[in-house]
Amino acid sequence: MATDSFQKLTETAQAIKETRSTNTKIAICADYFRSIPEDENLRRAAQFLGEGAFSDLSGKRASVGSRTYSTCAANFCEIDYEKVFKPCKTALGSASEAIEKLMQNIDVARRKRSPSQLSLKQVEEQYHKLSQLSSRADKQEVLQNCWKKMTALEIKYFIRIMSRGSLRIGFETKSVVSALSKAFKKKLENVRYAHMITGSIGNTAVLCKNNSLDQASFKLFHPLSFMLASPIESRSIENLDPYIAEEKFDGMRAQGHVKGEQVELYSRDLNDITHSFPEIVQFFTSRNLPALVLDGEICVYKDDEILPFQLLQKRMGRKKPSQEVIQKYPVLFIAYDVLYHGKQPTFGHPLAKRRELLVTLSKKYSLPITNQFNVETHAHVEELFERALAHGNEGLMLKKKESTYEYGQRRKSWLKVKRPGGTLDTVLMYAHAGSGRRGGYYSDFTLGIRVAEDERYEEEFIPIGKAYGGYTDEEMKRLNKKIKDLTVEKYGPTLGLIPEIVVELEFDDIQVNKRTKANYTLRLPRFKAIRWDLAPTDANTLKDVERMYQQKIDRDRLKQKENPSFVFHQ
């Protein structure tokens, strides 16, 4: 089979899926990469396996939604979308897997297809075509024509690659990087670096093959993947010596790229958010800075207080905020790391060294930066944690002094210490069929609060959040049994339930959301306990939620005058 065929790529993916050992998976992928002679095809193969139809930084998207390709597949197979396709998808927990099976099993779908070994290049052209089209009908026509030339296996992976989701073969981008390192005998660290810098796994593959990884260099105004923190598993870190502490702001993580008059801000998902925060742009340009990349947090800061995230929300997602909004919710960029300075990336330096540089810059250019604390005892950590909360912040970060900036990774060098935002007793209202590992079970649940005595509503319960975690496998199975008896309605993969089961729900925060019935949503809701001992009448009410929210907003916040969470030499 031709090394540049899409079928070959999908067979490789399937072989990786059917192997359990990570090393063997990497070896299979490495062999495949090595077998491809042309640079362009290697680029496509690595990109398809590691990133999706287009490189992350290209900004291009095929933009084909699940409903578009699912109805298209149902038409192709000549089956009823509602009556046949949907139950198939629910049973498998995956639309793409259902499509693969239907394409394989249904005679008429088989007869329509004559697989013709499309090349990687031809498949890339199809993705490109899809990205250029806007109407559903046009996109479906491209899909239909494309599928006619594919095997069922190719169709499944074609969809998964197109949707930029996981290929579900137990092999994520990190593993593709390892496979490149193995295939071309390059140091893993160098490959990872090149990937981070170029922002493209495809280009990284070509650099590996041509022995030119050193050509990959950091460029200003190309965002770096953020370093992420792990939750601290227990409060007991044996030895606090290697760590420093910083307060964890309740704001929006951001990366600022600055060079003289030019400023760009990127969000955690690497989107350009510069236009939402003109005063930050102005702040940086006014300081006549050298080329600089800062990692930090955007917070609403007013009258010597850091204000809650709920107020920052008024600024997020606005392309061009009005003067009024800017004055009402003024924001500040508080830096806590420096990743590039002058002509040199600094993310390879240990944190202590980066901090030294950050302090110097802060003094010289009057930039707000976090306050850093040496922690000696657990009692001290506890005290700092309580003070961070008093400041209105989320908690504490513990960072290893010797750690480099581990871009794009969530490891143990940064640890976050948080306290749950609160708990509510809620009622199970709907169960939704799970996908992936939870295929075949109802694993996502919509939970409601009581409004029975609330004159604003006619219902007894209204939804407050959707949780899909925090329970054990055993609890989920017990719930699934119980749900059977409580089901009153069925809407495709969703079951409407008699409100009977009470769940104690834990969450990080309460936010206003006008698009919901309750006007509030919970951030990161998860099961704390299934309260078999409580009745639905014991559930919390909407009034309780409103009270909790108001308490958060109105809470007294410790001013920044003494023991501040950040330093700002104005």
Partner 1 sequence: MNITKAGYHGILLPNLNIGFDYSGTDTQHTFISHAHADHMPRNRKSSVYCTSNTLKLMRRRGYKGEATVLDFEEPFETENARITLYPAGHILGSAMVYVESEEGSVLYTGDYRTPPSPATEGFAIPHQVDHFITEATFSLPIYRWDSHEELGNEIREFAQKTLADNYTPVFLAYNLGKAQEVMHFLSPLNHPVQIHGAGYKMCDVYEEAGIDLGTYATYNRGTCAGNILITTNSALNNGFASNVKKKRIAYCSGWASREATRSQLTVHKLIPLSDHLDFFELIRLCERLEPQKVHITHTPNADVVQHYLDTRNINSRFLDLESEEDD
CB of 167 to partner 1, least distance (A): 11
Pattern 438-457, binding to partner 1, x per CB under 8 A?
xxx-----------------
Q: Quick check: 22 binds partner 1 (CB under 8 A)?
A: no
CB of 46 to partner 1, least distance (A): 24
Q: Quick check: 17 binds partner 1 (CB under 8 A)?
A: yes
CB 461 within 8 A of CB 447: no
Token pair 């704001």 is found at 251
Pattern 503-522, binding to partner 1, x per CB under 8 A?
--------------------
CB of 441 to partner 1, least distance (A): 9
Beta carbons within 10 angstroms of residue 125's beta carbon: 13
- How far apart are alpha carbons 97 and 100 in whole angstroms? 5
- How far apart are alpha carbons 124 and 119 in whole angstroms? 9
CB of 435 to partner 1, least distance (A): 8
Q: Quick check: 496 binds partner 1 (CB under 8 A)?
A: no
CB of 163 to partner 1, least distance (A): 16
Classify each residue of 212-231 as buried b or exposed e, where b means 16 or more C-beta atoms within 10 Å of its C-beta.
ebeebebeeeebbbbbbbee
- How far apart are alpha carbons 553 and 246 in whole angstroms? 23
Pattern 190-219, binding to partner 1, x per CB under 8 A?
------------------------------
CB of 77 to partner 1, least distance (A): 8
Of 148, 187, 235, 437, the residue at the interface with partner 1 (CB under 8 A) is 437
User: For residues 291-330, which are near partner 1 according to CB under 8 A?
Assistant: none
CB of 478 to partner 1, least distance (A): 16
Closest C-alpha among 270, 167, 280 to residue 221: 270
User: Counting Cβ atoms within 10 Å, is residue 271 exposed (0-12), middle (13-18) or buried (19+)?
Assistant: exposed
| Nearest to partner 1 of 106, 220 (CB atom) | 106
Closest C-alpha among 23, 274, 283 to residue 171: 23
- How far apart are alpha carbons 225 and 356 in whole angstroms? 22
| Nearest to partner 1 of 6, 85 (CB atom) | 85
Stretch of 76-84, 185-193, 299-307, 331-339 lying at the interface with partner 1 (CB under 8 A): 76-84
Closest C-alpha among 332, 293, 389, 351 to residue 568: 332
| Nearest to partner 1 of 87, 345 (CB atom) | 87
User: For residues 77-116, which are near partner 1 according to CB under 8 A?
Assistant: 79-80, 83-84, 87-88, 91-94, 97-98, 101-102, 104-106
Distances (CA, A) of 201 to 48, 308, 405, 458: 9, 38, 20, 54
Residue 473: HSE in the Cβ half-sphere, 13 Å Cα cutoff: 3
Of 1, 20, 342, 554, the residue at the interface with partner 1 (CB under 8 A) is 20
Residues 6+ apart with CB under 8 A from 201: 46, 47, 50, 51, 55, 173, 176, 177, 180, 195
Q: State the residues that interact with partner 1 by CB under 8 A.
A: 17-18, 20, 79-80, 83-84, 87-88, 91-94, 97-98, 101-102, 104-106, 168, 435-440
